[in-house]
A and B are shown apart, each in its own frame.
Chain A
Amino acid sequence: MATAEELAPRLSEASVNKIWDVYSAFDWPDTLEPSAEWYMSPELISIYGTDIYNALSEAEQKTLSFYEVTNFFSFVLYGERPLIEGLMHRMYRKATLGVITDYLHHFVDEENKHMIMFGDFCNRYAGKVYPEKKLVLPREWAKGEEDVAFFCKVLIVEELGDYYNLIMMSDKTINPLVSKINRVHHIDEARHLAFGRAYLTELFHATRNHWSEEEMTSFQTWLANYLASCWGDFYNPTVYKDAGLKDGYGIRKMALQHDACKQMRERASKKVVNYFLEVGLLSETPAL
């Protein structure tokens, strides 16, 4: 595998060659009618395969797909906000000077455009971005742990998002604007993922030598719990309420326990979990 230093100039060049303008890339229809078409591939809808989903009419399922994709764009947007903040914070350090920082500029530029694109869709058609409910509580970190945790979070938001992007960008049955947003996102994310995997692998191998066995176990426990907690974003009670379903919180609890939903989470997480296992960031497959 190429090192991050070898990869960064090639990725920077690709970013320049594929540069796009977020303000002219899309033709935004004036309105979208939630019940008129699919906005998310049905198999990606959070409660697909459950009795509650099966009991809905097709128009109700389509309405749900509209709010689900709005929620997906919302939490990816909120995932990209701390990502940009963290990348900016890591530029021009001794360890990132040169080609790495050069690439981080592209990374930040592209993430900023993604946030604009997602925010525009949500505000135009749903009248809101679903607010996140996260609150970061202060905690202590082992030496270098915060940086490793940061790049793990980056990889998780991008790998899970990309699983959805890949399916929706090729799905000709869903709204073409949604499909295009997923395609545009995926093209940039493919570079971010390549860089993220290479950089995190090197960072982790350089950092883990400073950790005790206890610190390593504690990190692996945190990472498994963090990945599981990320899946909570997909089951938003307000989405269910907006789609006209009763007891949104109850539906969330049902879906988090339901076998069909669990299998979906495992499928979508497989790539990032395998990477974490291969590198040693996880010691066993986490329960999702």
Chain B
Amino acid sequence: MQESEIIGQLRDWILERAGAASDRLTDNEMPILDEGLLSSLDIVEFILFIESLREEEVDIENIEPEVFTNLRTLYDAFFADKSQVIAS
């Protein structure tokens, strides 16, 4: 999958989960946590969705909350350099 396609899927998932309008995430640097689009209770479901896209498990112990700052940080952490968060 291309970067734009992955980011698009992440965006769609977050907006649907939050029940938010599409203008809440019009670019990849718009804040996700600060805007309240994700909470702790959404993280498990979101991680499992990310794993289904990556087709690989995520090691949550290597994840800092900052990873969820925006779509760019999500893509970089989970897809650009997957070695950072692959479960052993």
Contacts and interface: CB of A to CB of B under 8 A. Distances in A.
B43 A133 contact: yes
B40 A136 contact: yes
Contacts of A136: 40
Interface stretch (A109-117, A224-232, A264-272): A224-232
B8 to A, nearest CB: 18
A229 B47 CA distance: 13
Interface in A47-61: none
Given A137-B39, A225-B41, A132 B60 contact: yes
Contacts of A226: 41
B60 A133 contact: yes
B70 to A, nearest CB: 14
Contact of A137 (B43, B47, B57, B58): B43
B19 interface: no
Contacts of B47: 133, 135
Contacts of A232: 44-45, 48
B3 interface: no
A70 to B, nearest CB: 16
Nearest to A252: B48
A246 to B, nearest CB: 12
Could you tell me the dominant secondary structure of chain B's interface residues? helix
Interface in A132-167: 132-139
A216 to B, nearest CB: 18
B68 interface: yes
A131 B52 contact: no
A28 interface: no
Contacts of A138: 65
B39 A139 contact: yes
Interface string A43-75: 000000000000000000000000000000000
Contacts of B57: 131, 238
A135 B63 contact: yes
B43 A249 contact: no
A237 B48 contact: yes
Contacts of B38: 137
Contacts of B74: none
A182 to B, nearest CB: 24
Contacts of B48: 133, 232, 237, 249, 252
B65 A135 contact: yes
Nearest to B64: A135
Contacts of B27: none
B15 interface: no
Interface in B32-56: 33, 38-45, 47-49, 51-52
Nearest to A136: B40
A135 B60 contact: yes
Given A137-B43, A229-B44, A232-B48, 13 more contacts: A131-B61, A132-B60, A133-B58, A133-B60, A134-B60, A135-B43, A135-B47, A137-B33, A137-B68, A225-B41, A229-B42, A232-B44, A249-B48
